[in-house]
Amino acid sequence: MLIDEFLPRYDVNARYQIDVHAAISEVYLAARFLNMSSSKAVRWLYRLRGLPQGNLTLDGMLKWGFVLLADKPCNELVLGLIGRFWAASPQIQRVNADAFIKFDQPGFAKAVGNMAFIAQGDGSVRVTTETRVLCPDDASRRCFRLYWLFIGPFSGIIRKEWLRLIKQGAEA
């Protein structure tokens, strides 16, 4: 998977999946142009964390500091983000894909998230999303793991909402 090229080793990960009964091209388009603003849960969780609530799309995420690491249509999308996610001011680092791979500054965490599309024998498409986080030093790893203890379940709710909305959009 493409996600392995950007973060093959990691400290924390979470993975979710859903089966969608639609053509793989429709599923990919539903994911690529996903608009999360229709989800009350996503809007509420973003508000709670102090994240931007406008433009809850992939393109909106790119404006916040995410970097599109890979986009292989009908196969996999990979996004990355570098910051101090556990801090009140997360100090998001704006980088390109090459700089993302090389980044290893102590005190930060690198996160990648993907959406992969896998055709199933019954004509459906399995959509998976995985989040991986790597901290280059022990101090940031401790801070992130404590943060993830509280935030991880809510992050999971957001990822499950992504999948639900992709399914809803592709099957409509």
Q: Domain spans of the chain?
A: 3-171
Q: Does domain 3-171 have CATH number 3.40.710?
A: no
Inter-residue long-range contacts of 41-46, CB under 8 Å, 24+ positions, other chains counted: 41/157, 41/158, 41/161, 42/158, 42/161, 45/154, 45/157, 45/158
Tens of pLDDT, residue by residue over 53-70, are: 677 888 888 988 899 999
Tens of pLDDT, residue by residue over 107-164, are: 999 999 999 999 999 999 999 999 999 999 999 999 999 999 999 999 999 999 999 9
Mean of pLDDT over the chain: 94
- Which amino acid, 167? K
- Which amino acid, 91? Q
Tens of pLDDT, residue by residue over 68-94, are: 999 999 999 999 999 999 998 899 999
